[in-house]
Every structure is written in C-alpha cells, then in structure tokens.
Amino acid sequence: MGLKCPIDRTIGLFEHDIMDAHLPLPKYHQIYLVLREQLREGRFDGGLPGEMALMGQFGVARVTVRRALSQLAQEGLIQREPGRGTRPVKGRSAEFPMNGSPLASGQQARLTGLLENLVTMGLRTKVKVLSVERMRVPVDVAAALKLPGTAWVQKAERVRSTPEGPLSHITTWVPDSISSGFGKRELAQKPILVLLEESGVKVGRAEQTISARLADVGMAKHLDVSVGSALLAVRRLIYDEDERPVQWLHGLYRPDRYEYQMQLSRVGSIDAKVWVSQELSANFH
C-alpha cells in the first residue's frame, strides 16, 4: 500500500467542511448551480477560474469540478478551449431571468411598513462594515438609480448579525451627492435609512423583489453556511418623497434566521377578488 498524497487528504477535508453533504444534491451539481448563478450575474466576463482554482474554492476533487463544468458546457453556457481557458458563451446571459435590474421583470412588491421594519432591524442587530468605496456607477446600478453613466456612487458592503450569528450580507449603492455626509464609521453606528434622513433625504417608499439564491464560497464564509445553501435574495429600491431613487440594495439573508410575515386581505368583486397586503413585519432570530 502506498502513502496517500497530502494534497488528497487536504481536498478530502475541504470537501467535508465546505460542501453541504446534507443537501439532496451531488456535489458537482451544487457547484454547477453556484457557477450558473455567477454566470448569470456576469462575474466571469473575463473567463472562469481554472480547474485548480475551482478545486481550491470548493474543496473538491478535479473530477467533481470537471463534471460541473461539463454540465454548463452541455447547456451551452460556457465554452472550453484548450490553451484559452473557459469562457461564458456570449448572448446566453439574456436567457437568465434575473440578469440586470430585477425591477424590470418579475413581481414588484410595494411593502407598507417596510421602512419602519428596516430601521427597527438595523437598531436591533449588530453590523460589521466590510468595505466602503466611492466608485463610478455600474451600468445596472445607473439604470436602477436613474443616473448617467458618468455619475459616482458610494458602494458599501455590510454583514448584520444577531446573537446567534450572521443574519445577512447587504450591498448598497447611494448617489454620491447624498452619501458624501457619511462613511464607514457612520455606517457601523446607524442604519443607512437613518443616515439618509440625516443627509436631508425624505424617504418615501420602497420597491422590493424577493427570490432565492445559492451561497457561493465568499458568501458562505460571510454568513457561516455551506456552499450551495439556499439564501433569500432581496433587491430593494428606495425612493424619496419626490419619487427619486436614493438607494439600491442587494441583500442575501439566511432563511433560518430571517423571515417576512405578511397579512393579506381579499378585496374586489366576487368574480375578481385579489389579495392585498395590509401589513408586513420582518422577523429575525
């Protein structure tokens, strides 16, 4: 009997620690789903990481990575060329339903009481500010905030936690003209909606979409979950009282620690009754 290679033993440890063995999906399919979502977001425009890099990220053997890539290739989502690496297939991104601004498709929710609940949650949880930077507005953010492509915005990334552990990872974009009065220190001390109000913004309403996402390697570390775990994905656009967009938010929440509760009533005539939301609360535990 020969000795096992130390690298093989390391891969075995990573495979056990990072991938969720309790999910009813084989590991290659978990990797396929995570990479598919990242392709949808346009994160690999310059090419996908190599097989060795993906092995390290997911903590699996080469055969597992190759099977995941093979499934993506069979669906025509990537193209693998010897010596040139693996690249997304141009034109296929439009087939992903959530690419671009989620307000452009899918059901939009205008949530009564949402802003009050958001401030309450901000005051009752702890926040860790991961980064704050001033940057030229990305194309999708410019579309959401109705800004010219030459505009500047503040991008901030934060992780909110309860006593039980991480609750959410939040990324916000705020126009530079509004965000100039607060930075990393202020974001660590107060909810961003409070900071907007203190900057002179009269917050009016919010539009929000809720969907599902899978945790990639980075998000799994931030939220203390396994790669491939299901997360609640929130996209929220905040308007002021003059109907101008003032904040664009992408949030990922642990579903075991966060939930929405909504009270619905039936209104309308008997043959055309619809459900209308009267109240919403945000619960976290």
**Average of per-residue pLDDT across 148-175:** 93
Q: HEC states along the chain?
A: CCCCCHHHHHHHHHHHHHECCCCCCCHHHHHHHHHHHHHHCCCCCCCCCCHHHHHHHHCCCHHHHHHHHHHHHHCCCEEEECCCEEEECCCCHHHCCCCCCHHHCCCCEECCCHHHHHHHHHHHCEEEEEEEEEEECCHHHHHHHCCCCCCEEEEEEEEEEECCEEEEEEEEEEEHHHHCCCCHHHHHHCCHHHHHHHCCCCEEEEEEEEEEEECCHHHHHHHCCCECCEEEEEEEEEEECCCCEEEEEEEEECCCCEEEEEEEEEECCHHHCEEEEEEEEEEEC
The answer to whether 188 touches 259, Cβ cutoff 8 Å, is: no
Residue 259 backbone dihedrals phi, psi, to 5 degrees: -155, 155
Q: In angstroms, rounded to a whole number, what is the distance separating the alpha carbons of residues 20 and 15? A: 9
Residue 12 in this model has a pLDDT that exceeds 60? no
Residue 137 in this model has a pLDDT that exceeds 60? yes
Q: Which domains does the chain have, with CATH numbers?
A: 6-95 (1.10.10.10), 102-284 (3.40.1410.10)
Whole-number pLDDT of residue 99: 35
Which of the residue ranges 37-41, 62-66, 241-245 would you say has the lowest mean pLDDT? 37-41
What's the predicted TM-score (pTM) here?
0.62
Percent of the chain's residues with pLDDT above 90: 33
Residue 177 in this model has a pLDDT that exceeds 80? yes
172 burial via Cβ count (<10 Å: 0-12, 13-18, 19+): buried
Whole-number pLDDT of residue 101: 36
Whole-number pLDDT of residue 175: 96
Residue 129 in this model has a pLDDT that exceeds 50? yes
C-beta atoms surrounding 153 within 10 Å: 25
Residue 169 in this model has a pLDDT that exceeds 90? yes
Whole-number pLDDT of residue 266: 65
pLDDT-derived band at 59 (thresholds 50, 70, 90) equals confident
Residue 159 in this model has a pLDDT that exceeds 90? yes
Whole-number pLDDT of residue 81: 81
Which of the residue ranges 29-38, 98-107, 177-186, 276-285 would you say has the lowest mean pLDDT? 98-107
Distances in Å between the alpha carbon of 236 and those of 66, 111, 140, 255?
A: 36, 10, 13, 17
Whole-number pLDDT of residue 1: 41
pLDDT-derived band at 104 (thresholds 50, 70, 90) equals very low
